[in-house]
Amino acid sequence: MALSGMRGLSVFISDIRNCPNKEQERLRVDKELGNIRTRFKSEKGLTHYEKKKYVWKMLYIHMLGYDVDFGHMEAVSLISAPKYPEKQVGYIVTSSLLNENHDFLRLAINTVRNDIIGRNETFQCLALTMVGNIGGREFSESLAPDVQKLLISSSCRPLVRKKAALCLLRLYRKNPDVVNIDGWADRMAQLLDERDLGVLTSSTSLLVALVSNNHEAYWSCLPKCVKILERLARNQDIPQEYTYYGIPSPWLQVKAMRALQYFPTIEDPNIRRSLFEVLQRILMGTDVVKNVNKNNASHAVLFEALALVMHLDAEKEMMSQCVALLGKFIAVREPNIRYLGLENMSRMLMVTDVHDSIKRHQAQIITSLKDPDISIRRRALDLLYGMCDVSNAKDIVEELLQYLSAADFAMREELSLKAAILAEKFAPDLSWYVDVILQLIDKAGDFVSDDIWFRVVQFVTNNEDLQPYAAAKAREYLDKPAIHETMVKVSAYLLGEYSHLLARRPGCSPKEIFTVIHEKLPTVSTTTIPILLSTYAKILMHTQPADPELQKIVWAIFNKYESCIDVEIQQRAVEYFALSKKGAALMDILAEMPKFPERQSALLKKAEDAEVDSAEQSAIKLRAQQQMSNALVVTDQRPANGAPSDCWRA
């Protein structure tokens, strides 16, 4: 703000800054607003200078966060002032205080249009800036044609045309149906021949918006974008003011490459070759240096180039070169560069040919799981998940299990789900899969969804060879002094069904199995008790002829829960007590659960439905057909009504 000559404004700002607390500030603001309101209502007309001073004060009060609900007319009226100082404050304050739907703006449209089509370049720039900032529909309908004429005018200076391009971009983004861009392809192509880099950069921003909606109309702009990149790569005719830390206009390079990514392909071999030469130069010439600003600019160009290489589906040699470059970046100290390296490596997974190249950096990616920055840890987790296949699944899942103990609570649910999905998709054998899920439940039970433990029960039920092993592992976990309730559920279920397969092992007699499970009953919630009651009934079934002592204990438990307020628990207790009196007939009634019917895995479906990064999702889908044929293919055998415990009934 130009405060020279405005003593009253300077004093007011000084008063505000010297207020000892918020209450004093509010009182001073209210006093000033009252004074301004009185002056505006005064019959004695205000001079342009006085009006300008009070309007500046209103803007300052607005910037402090206070509502300014009057004086808008005075601000708008300053737009039509003949002199620059008053017109400037009118434009600035109007665009700050009023939104696009404000009625007062209609009063200014003619004045703004006169400034745009006038000969005063300073006034043109002020008007274009305000129109761009407000961007309302009415402004678009009335002023867009004039802004378009300014942009393509040969008589306007670059300063005005640059602002016209940005103003038109804003109007087009806000109201694309109002801005008439029919037949603009040739004009856009002409704008891309512009020598002035300011106009060229603004025009390229406009092109990106246009091709994002309809690339078909702008094929003539494609070779022009490549020529821009060639010019910048060779540093031809680049003014010093557009060179940033030795990099020729990095903003323009990024915009040109962004525009090229909206075209589906490049057929012309000459254009394609020229573009790949530029991309090769960018890939070879980018490295990490000590200057942070230079790093930011050069890596903005580099990562956009990587995105373009992937979009164009370049040759394998260039892809491998990109992966090697990213491998260097994920090992540097600068966290922003590490993050971008991991993120772009995840995108590279969309290109199947580089999967082996990415695997070479597995150790460094695993190291990134322990990074202090959670965003880097998340990207590393996404990348490990995306790059996992039959060959490295064991190593990656074991790393995830180790990391689980130290992981943030915010990440544990996602981590558990991904580890379970990878274990299911790429398990070398089923016993390893059971080990992984039980470890998962043991380490992060609070974050393991029911789908995960349902799934392991379904596998064990459907694979006879796995049943003794799973029951033995469940028995081991029950010996721990404190285990999660989910582990109690899965262990009780497995031992209820298959503990008889362990009868000859020490500590696995029916009574010992019952005792170790029953010890957990006081620690569980009412949702788990029905599963434990089912386990007790199953254990009784497997001890025919009956063990009188064990039978007496179990019957006492059933009797206790027959009057439970929970209907599910009460019903099971009553039914199991009645059934357990049938002696040998119990074997037929409470026989082992049949195999679950084959269905799509709920976990794999969850992976497909989850809203993950588009790059990661694409990578999963792209590799699924190739790798699932080599993996241990398993299908979901989940019952129609959901949980195993719902079906585990007489």
Say which range, 332-336, 351-355, 398-402, 430-434, has the weakest mean pLDDT. Answer: 351-355
Same domain assignment for residues 331 and 411: yes
Given a cut of 80, whether residue 324 has pLDDT beyond it is yes
Given a cut of 90, whether residue 623 has pLDDT beyond it is no
Three-state DSSP at 19 gives: coil
Most confident of 157-171, 392-406, 605-619: 157-171
Same domain assignment for residues 260 and 221: yes
Same domain assignment for residues 293 and 350: no
Q: According to the model, what pLDDT value does residue 608 have? A: 60
Same domain assignment for residues 377 and 275: no
Q: According to the model, what pLDDT value does residue 47 have? A: 80
Q: According to the model, what pLDDT value does residue 201 have? A: 94
Structure tokens at 407: 């992981």
Q: According to the model, what pLDDT value does residue 570 have? A: 93
Given a cut of 50, whether residue 377 has pLDDT beyond it is yes
Q: What angle do CA 271, 273, 278 make, to 5 degrees?
A: 95
Percent of the chain whose pLDDT exceeds 90:
25
In the predicted model, what is the mean pLDDT of the chain? 83
183 pLDDT tier (thresholds 50, 70, 90): confident
Same domain assignment for residues 336 and 286: no
Three-state DSSP at 244 gives: strand
- Helical segments of 370-429, H only: 374-387, 393-404, 409-426
Same domain assignment for residues 559 and 641: yes
The answer to whether the CB of 189 falls within 8 A of the CB of 220 is yes
State the average pLDDT over residues 639-649. Answer: 41
Q: According to the model, what pLDDT value does residue 227 have? A: 94
Measuring CA to CA, how many Å separate 294 from each of 117, 247, 324, 390? 40, 8, 21, 41
Could you tell me if residue 324 is inside a domain? yes
Structure tokens at 621: 């889908």
Q: According to the model, what pLDDT value does residue 450 have? A: 82
Structural domain of 520:
511-599+635-647
Tally of CB atoms within 10 A around 98: 19
- Helical segments of 64-157, H only: 72-77, 84-97, 104-117, 121-134, 137-152
Q: According to the model, what pLDDT value does residue 629 have? A: 35
Give the CATH number, domain containing residue 421.
1.25.10.10
Same domain assignment for residues 544 and 444: no
Q: According to the model, what pLDDT value does residue 605 have? A: 65
More confident residue, 218 or 350: 218
Given a cut of 90, whether residue 205 has pLDDT beyond it is yes
Domain count, the chain: 3
Could you tell me if residue 590 is inside a domain? yes
Three-state DSSP at 248 gives: strand
pLDDT digits (tens, 9 = 90+) for 337-353: 899 899 988 888 877 67
Residue that has been written with the tokens 């254990």 in this structure: 539
pLDDT digits (tens, 9 = 90+) for 479-535: 888 888 889 999 999 988 888 888 777 878 888 888 888 888 888 888 889 999 988
Say which range, 96-110, 237-251, 411-425, has the weakest mean pLDDT. Answer: 96-110
Q: According to the model, what pLDDT value does residue 155 have? A: 87
Cα of 189 vs its chain's centroid, Å:
35
- The residue length of the chain stands at 650
Same domain assignment for residues 395 and 418: yes
d(CA 177, CA 111): 25
Q: According to the model, what pLDDT value does residue 628 have? A: 38
Same domain assignment for residues 287 and 321: no
pLDDT digits (tens, 9 = 90+) for 450-488: 888 888 888 898 888 888 999 999 888 888 888 888 899
Q: According to the model, what pLDDT value does residue 161 have? A: 94
Same domain assignment for residues 528 and 641: yes
Q: What is the DSSP string of 494-526?
A: HHHHHGGGGTTSTT-SHHHHHHHHHTTGGGS-T
The domain boundary, picked from 245, 269, 304, lies at: 304
Could you tell me if residue 479 is inside a domain? no
State the average pLDDT over residues 99-113. Answer: 84
Could you tell me if residue 573 is inside a domain? yes
Could you tell me if residue 112 is inside a domain? no
d(CA 259, CA 304): 11
Could you tell me if residue 52 is inside a domain? no
Q: According to the model, what pLDDT value does residue 60 have? A: 92
Q: According to the model, what pLDDT value does residue 617 have? A: 44
Given a cut of 50, whether residue 634 has pLDDT beyond it is no
Same domain assignment for residues 297 and 324: no
More confident residue, 647 or 12: 12
Q: According to the model, what pLDDT value does residue 31 have? A: 92
- The pTM of the full predicted model, rounded to 2 decimals, is 0.71
- Give strand pairing partners of 244: 247
Say which range, 186-195, 215-224, 276-285, 401-410, has the weakest mean pLDDT. Answer: 401-410
- Give strand pairing partners of 247: 244
Percent of the chain whose pLDDT exceeds 70:
90
Q: Could you tell me which of 347, 469, 470, 484 has the C-alpha nearest to residue 404?
A: 484
More confident residue, 585 or 2: 585
d(CA 134, CA 91): 11
Say which range, 136-140, 277-281, 403-407, 596-600, has the weakest mean pLDDT. Answer: 596-600
Could you tell me if residue 296 is inside a domain? yes
Exposure of 326 in the CB half-sphere (CA atoms within 13 A): 31
The domain boundary, picked from 264, 281, 304, lies at: 304
Structure tokens at 157: 């200076």
pLDDT digits (tens, 9 = 90+) for 536-569: 888 888 776 667 888 889 899 989 999 889 999 9
User: Distance from first CA to last CA of the chain, Å, rounded?
Assistant: 82
Q: According to the model, what pLDDT value does residue 4 have? A: 43
Most confident of 129-138, 224-233, 314-323: 224-233
Three-state DSSP at 334 gives: coil
Same domain assignment for residues 300 and 352: no
The domain boundary, picked from 424, 448, 472, lies at: 448
Could you tell me if residue 456 is inside a domain? no
Given a cut of 50, whether residue 329 has pLDDT beyond it is yes
